[in-house]
Structure 1
Amino acid sequence: MKIQSLIGKFKRSNTRKSQLTIVVQPSALFFSSIPGLSLPQQIAYEGASWQDALYKVLKGAGASDLSVDVVLHSNLYQSYQIEKPSIPDEELTSALPFLLKDLITEKVTDIVADYRPLPMGNKLQVYVIPRSLVVSLSGQLSQLNIALERVLIEDDVWAYSAGELSQFLLLQRSKKGQFRVSAFSEGQCAFQRTIRGVASPLTGVASSALQLDGLALELQRSIDYLSSQLRGTPLHQMKVCCDEEEQQEVAQALSERLSVGVTVLSERGDESGVLLVESAALLSEGAINLFPSLLKPKKDYFTLTNIAIGWGVTTIALLVFYALLSYQQLALQEDLRLVRSQEAEFRQQVDTLSQRLAKHKPSPAKVAAVSRLELEIESKRQSLDAVSEYDTAQQVGYSGVMRSLAKLGRDDISLSSITIDTHTLDLKGLAREPQVIPNWISQFKSELDLVGRTFDKLKIGRNDQDIITFELKTKEGTK
């Protein structure tokens, strides 16, 4: 067995893992359900980093041999709009950190970036995250035998949260987060803005009508801006998903103040983290991924254990192969022995038959006598064939030919000589004009005894009395 096939089996075994989605919010972690693993729907991480809280809860639940997608809150990544450079698309991802060097404070080697073309203008929306964040997260998960597959952004996930509605505005606030307004078109985030100066709560006892008025004013400014920038994208519907708020009340108040329709995103009033977990399953493969393959840990398949296993399997395979060849060799040797025994027996039979054949060879005198008899038989057979042919000719006779010639008699044709036998019919005679001869011959085909007889030669002349003479040489055709 080749070592490459062993490595392929190890790789396939590592890829067969259950998929877990984790959503990171400003105050809590949300988990998707997975068979065979008991994880809470959400867990708060106040007073600790979300990475440590994630590691603790996964370790406590005994999670292992999983594949994980992590959806980050907008506070954990930055977004920039840049002009699209004139470089090939396959080189653009690796060039992004250098294109952002004037916009960021980190070194270009300390960030991870991914991009998406914007529908308005020749621009790119670029998302950036510290390299140390994804590297440390991947390292912590690998300690639990959990593979980090993708690091996603919530802007991509919110685009699929409105069901069949593909073009809409979203007012969203997570618990302990800020109000944000976003615009989505065909599964992409085309616009995102954080609304400052508006604090929660908007509803309830501690609310103020001025808060809603200020929020509505900021939202209307964003709507007017999008109307001028995204002319081909109709954005007439706004969804509301604000944690710690009476969402129906917020939607009703904004609907009275804005130029677009406003409804709640979830009729059940689910929190943002729950909706993100549900919508993450709809995310396409082309979504923003801030954990590229070059950062994924490379599995070292050439460990001492794997090499020992490989050599062990190879040794066993060679031993089995050697035993099989030895068994086949013994079987072939036995077959060879039987064949040689049969060969000796056949040679003895050949010698015996050769001796018997020598005793049964005829003498030269008998051979000569047989030859003479064969010649005599052949001569008699030829005689019989000639007699048979003569008898057939006699049976046919010539009376039919004569009757047919008499039947075809004409005033302008006169026969003076008829020569007939089995194979030939020769005619001589006189004719009034030359052209009557072909006309008369053409009538032969209407007579059974004359049909099929062909003329080999036609001779026309004149005698001493200046009368036209003709001579026909015919043979009987094959019937």
Structure 2
Amino acid sequence: MMQVGWGTLLKRFFNRSSGKQRLGLALTDQGVHISVSEKSAGQWRWVKQHFIDVADWPQQLHPWVQSNNLQFCQCNLVLPASKYQIMQVERPAVEDSELAAALQWTVKDILSTQEELKIDYFELPAQPAGANKVSVVVASRKDILTLARVLHHAELMPDQITIEETVLLDASGKDNEAVVSLVQHAGSEVCLSIYKQGKIYFTRRIKGYELLSSLTIDELNNGMLEALATEVQRSMDYFESQLHQAGLRKVVLMLDSDFQPEIAENLKNLLFIDVVNYVPDIAKDDALVMRHAYITSVVASQLGASVKSAKKVAA
């Protein structure tokens, strides 16, 4: 899994950790979902869930951490889509050791900005004939430092700052055959990604589904699911014809809708491939119920614990 290379920036604030508990924080435009996993008898279990509203979370995080005796626990933070961009750019003609620095200038030229940026990149496993591009993750350095200060004040010890596309890589990308992932949180666009053998082959955002959670199944069936199926089919066609990959046979859903089972069945009928709802295979306390809004933070709480991460690609 690609690990966004901001860990070194953050770790300088911290020097100790309990090691027995880990937090996953998933930021959204509504607030922050916090999951706690705990190691017992050699196994990590999801043991606690909490939500703090967006207006209060920087102030309320520390009191909550203290009240739950979670000071100095390692944590993984997942950025919301509004805090970063993913763009494909031509690979600069430089040595690998100089690539991250060269991409800084490339991205600043594309965005026409003088703002300080934090970037990471991941290589594309397959490209159209004649292409030589890399996918670059771009975020504001100011935003990252602000988050670092919040975590520092809360007495948490960050291990990874990452993005949703890479968190869910372990959720849907371990199969030997490629799968399509459709992910959407309240008020956001649908993120479509194609994974194969633990690598991202393709990712894009699909507009027009920001109000998905408010729609009935009849409203969804009134053209919206057909349009979504068309977008999925176009991405599948690109994967097969332009990237010269074997045909896709599975779609994994994590959508902000009470009608996700019905959506899965209808998309299956439209696409003629298997469509399943994603639920992470994670041990948990019996009192906890896995809900759509929790999944990203739950998976993030065990990154680096039960999930092996690939080497960072940029410092």
Tell me what 2:234 maps to: 221
- Tell me the residue number matched to 2:51: 43
CA contact 1:29–1:50 (8 Å) conserved in 2:
no
Q: Within 5 A, what are the aligned runs for 1:347-358?
A: none
Q: CA deviation at 1:251?
A: 0.8
User: Which residue of 18, 26, 33 corresponds with 1:29?
Assistant: 33
Higher relative contact order (CA 8 A, sep 6+): 2
Mapped to 2, the partners of 1:163 and 1:123 lie a distance apart of 21
| Post-superposition offset of 1:39 | 8.5
Instruction: Give 4+ residue runs of structure 1 displaced > 6 Å after superposition.
Output: none
Q: Map 1:169-248 to 2 at 5 A.
A: 169-198=180-209, 199-201=211-213, 203-204=216-217, 206-248=219-261
Write the distance in 2 (CA, Å) between the matches of 1:226 and 1:51: 41
Q: Quote the Cα distance in structure 2 between the aligned partners of 1:35 and 1:260.
A: 38
The structure that is helix-richer by fraction is: 1
Matched residue, 1:332: none
The aligned residue for residue 286 of structure 2 is none
- Residues 200 and 123 of structure 1: CA distance in aligned 2, closer, same or farther (over 3 Å): same
Whole-Å separation in 1 of the counterparts to 2:297 and 2:193: 15
Distance 1:283 1:45 in 2: 31
**Residues 204-249 of structure 1 deviation map (CA, whole Å, 9 limit, x = unaligned):** 3654421112222222222222222221354221111112232211
The letter for the 1-side match of 2:71 is: S
Task: Output aligned runs, 1:207-356, within 5 Å.
Answer: 207-266=220-279, 270-278=291-299, 280-281=302-303, 282-286=307-311, 292=315
Structure 2 distance, partners of 1:250, 1:91, is 46
CA distance in 2, matches of 1:150, 1:178: 24
Give the C-alpha shift of residue 151 in structure 1: 0.8
Local SS of the residue matching 1:160: helix
Aligned Cα root-mean-square deviation (Å): 3.1
Where does the alignment leave 5 or more consecutive residues of structure 1 unmatched? 1-10, 293-479
Counterparts of 1:222 and 1:25, CA distance in 2: 26
| Paired residues for 1:47-126 under 5 Å | 48=55, 50-55=57-62, 57-107=64-114, 110-121=116-127, 122-126=132-136
What's the counterpart of residue 15 of structure 2? 14
Offset, 1:52:
4.3
**Structure 2 residue matching 1:284: 3-state secondary structure:** coil
Q: Assess if the C-alpha contact under 8 Å between 2:35 and 2:48 holds in 1.
A: yes
Tell me if structure 2 keeps the 8 A contact 1:161–1:276: no
Distance, in Å, in 2 between the alignment partners of 1:126 and 1:71 is 17
Task: Give distance in 1, aligned partners of 2:256 and 2:208.
Answer: 18
Task: Give 3-state SS (helix, strand or coil) of 1:191's partner.
Answer: strand
CA–CA separation in structure 1 for the residues paired with 2:58 and 2:241: 41
What amino acid sits opposite 2:49 in the alignment? Q
The C-alpha deviation readout for 1:371-429, integer Å capped at 9, x for no partner, is xxxxxxxxxxxxxxxxxxxxxxxxxxxxxxxxxxxxxxxxxxxxxxxxxxxxxxxxxxx
Counterpart contact for 2:24–2:297, Cα < 8 Å = no
- Cα distance change, pair 64–137 in 1 and its aligned pair in 2 (3 A): same
Output the amino acid matched with 2:15: N
- What letter matches 1:111 in structure 2? L
Identity among equivalent positions (%) equals 24
Could you give the per-residue CA deviations for residues 261-293 of structure 1, whole angstroms, max 9, x where no partner exists?
22222398731532552365225142577xx4x
Deviation at 1:188, TM superposition (A): 2.2
- Aligned residue for 1:95, secondary structure, equals helix
* Aligned length, in residue pairs: 276
Specify the alignment match of 2:150 in structure 1. Answer: 140
Give the 3 Å change call, closer, same or farther, for CA 145–30 of structure 1 in structure 2: closer
Which secondary structure state, in structure 2, belongs to the residue aligned with residue 161 of structure 1? helix
CA-CA distance at 1:57 after TM superposition: 3.3
DSSP-derived class of the 1:286 partner: coil
CA distance in 1, matches of 2:53, 2:27: 10
Go from structure 1 to structure 2 and tell me whether the alpha carbon gap of 1:71 and 1:245 turns closer, same or farther (over 3 Å shift): same
Gaps of 5+ in 2: 1-11, 41-45, 281-288
Counterpart CA distance in 2 for 1:266 and 1:232 is 27
Shift of 1:260: 2.9
TM-score w.r.t. length of structure 1: 0.52
Aligned 1:362-373 pairs, distance under 5 A? none
